[in-house]
């Protein structure tokens, strides 16, 4: 779908966030970008979204995959909803900004809310929704344009553990159902191991790809307690021990 070729990013204040990141991404992959805080994960996501330019190297999109308006959905750590607008109107927003009428957009908004399990909450405003539900609205807002690529920047980090597990289950199921390509930033080894079918482990700043893992954990209700899952968590933990400086 696209490839990063020796991508580097140095900010104007001379912070080297990324150094020579090379990796190819296939359509339909669920890629976790996993690394300690400050290793450049969000920077990489912003480069993919076209919100920043690499200082060296390049991102090459396959011809058929070159993104146009609405082809990339972005989900942030905060749900960032308009407080005065209902869940449905928040989901409608990106279509509205692209000139779609409310009537045209209505079936898409309904479908996006259904995808995240919020059909019954379409007319509720953010203050009437739990933290998990607000994040679901945020995910629906990213899905409403039917993007080919969904970029997610630690979307579950602020949720309690029970809610987080539920949203992880639902996102994993949504990915399996929809076949969307997802790039998901996290600093949680457990979250990366549970969600993704590919994990790029980034080294501490400046970020480089320290490991490129393609786990195969059996699907089903016992995923989180399977031996394959705990083995993977151990493998990633060992990888970090190798790449983290001693004093950390
Ligand atoms: P992560 O998402 O892994 O926590 P970031 O990509 O947010 O890491 O940041 C990587 C490094 O780049 C950090 O040291 C951060 O302080 C720095 N950084 C991020 N954005 C900017 C910016 N706009 N200007 C200067 N430094 C930045």
pTM above 0.75, yes or no: yes
The residues near 177 (Cβ < 8 Å, ≥ 6 apart) are none
**Position 116 in a domain:** yes
**Position 72 in a domain:** no
State how many domains the chain has: 2
**Position 75 in a domain:** no
Task: Give residue 17 CA to ligand 1 midpoint distance, Å.
Answer: 6
Q: Note whether 61 and 152 are same-domain residues.
A: yes
Q: Note whether 141 and 159 are same-domain residues.
A: no
Q: What is the pLDDT of residue 245?
A: 67
Check whether 243 has a pLDDT greater than 90: no
102-143 tens-digit pLDDT: 999 999 999 999 999 999 999 999 999 999 999 999 999 999
Q: Is the CB of 133 under 6 A from ligand 1?
A: no
DSSP state of 141: H
* Mean pLDDT, residues 8-37: 94
47-61 tens-digit pLDDT: 999 999 999 999 999
**Position 231 in a domain:** yes
Check whether 247 has a pLDDT greater than 60: no
Identify the residue whose C-alpha is closest to ligand 1 atom 23: 11
Q: For a substitution probing ligand 1, which of 40, 151, 152 has the most ligand atoms within 8 Å of its CB?
A: 40
Q: Note whether 6 and 108 are same-domain residues.
A: no
Percent of the chain with pLDDT over 70: 98
Q: Is the CB of 41 under 6 A from ligand 1?
A: yes
Which residues are paired to 199 by β-bridges? 32, 213
Q: Note whether 140 and 222 are same-domain residues.
A: no
| Domain stops at, among 125, 147, 169 | 147
Check whether 239 has a pLDDT greater than 50: yes
Q: Note whether 152 and 57 are same-domain residues.
A: yes
Q: Is the CB of 15 under 6 A from ligand 1?
A: yes
Domain extent, residue 229, equals 2-67+148-243
- Whether the ω angle into residue 206 lies within 30 degrees of 0, i.e. cis, is yes
Q: Note whether 16 and 139 are same-domain residues.
A: no
Q: Note whether 229 and 140 are same-domain residues.
A: no
Q: For a substitution probing ligand 1, which of 15, 32, 41, 206 has the most ligand atoms within 8 Å of its CB?
A: 15
Q: Note whether 51 and 128 are same-domain residues.
A: no
Check whether 248 has a pLDDT greater than 60: no
219-232 tens-digit pLDDT: 888 888 899 999 99
**Position 77 in a domain:** no
Check whether 73 has a pLDDT greater than 90: yes
Give the pLDDT band of residue 216 (cuts 50, 70, 90): confident
186 backbone φψ class: left, alpha, beta (φ>0; ψ -120 to 50): beta
Average pLDDT, the chain: 92
Which helix or strand (DSSP H or E) is residue 153 part of? strand 149-153
CATH number at residue 223: 3.40.50.300
Q: For a substitution probing ligand 1, which of 10, 11, 19 has the most ligand atoms within 8 Å of its CB?
A: 11
């Amino acid at each position: 779908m696209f490839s990063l070729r020796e991508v580097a990013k140095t900010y104007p204040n001379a912070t080297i966030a990324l150094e020579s990141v090379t990796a190819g991404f296939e359509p339909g992959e669920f890629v976790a970008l996993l690394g300690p805080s400050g290793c450049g994960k969000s920077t990489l996501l912003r480069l993919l979204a076209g919100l920043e330019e690499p200082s060296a190297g390049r991102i090459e999109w396959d011809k058929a995959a070159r993104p146009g308006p609405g082809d990339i959905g972005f989900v942030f750590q905060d749900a960032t909803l308009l407080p005065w607008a209902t869940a449905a109107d928040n989901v409608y927003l990106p279509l509205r900004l692209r000139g779609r009428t409310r009537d045209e957009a209505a079936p898409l908004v309904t479908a996006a809310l259904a995808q995240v399990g919020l059909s019954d909450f379409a007319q509720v405003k953010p203050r009437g929704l739990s933290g998990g539900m607000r994040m679901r609205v945020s995910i629906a807002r990213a899905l409403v344009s039917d993007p080919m690529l969904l970029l997610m920047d630690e979307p579950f980090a602020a949720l309690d553990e029970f809610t987080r597990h539920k949203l992880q289950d639902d996102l994993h199921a949504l990915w399996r159902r929809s076949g969307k390509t997802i790039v998901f930033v996290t600093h949680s080894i457990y979250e990366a191991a549970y969600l993704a079918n590919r994990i790029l482990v980034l080294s501490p700043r400046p970020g480089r790809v320290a490991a490129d893992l393609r786990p195969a954990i059996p699907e089903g209700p016992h995923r989180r307690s399977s031996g394959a899952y705990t083995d993977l968590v151990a493998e990633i933990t060992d990888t970090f021990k190798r790449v983290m400086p001693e004093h950390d």
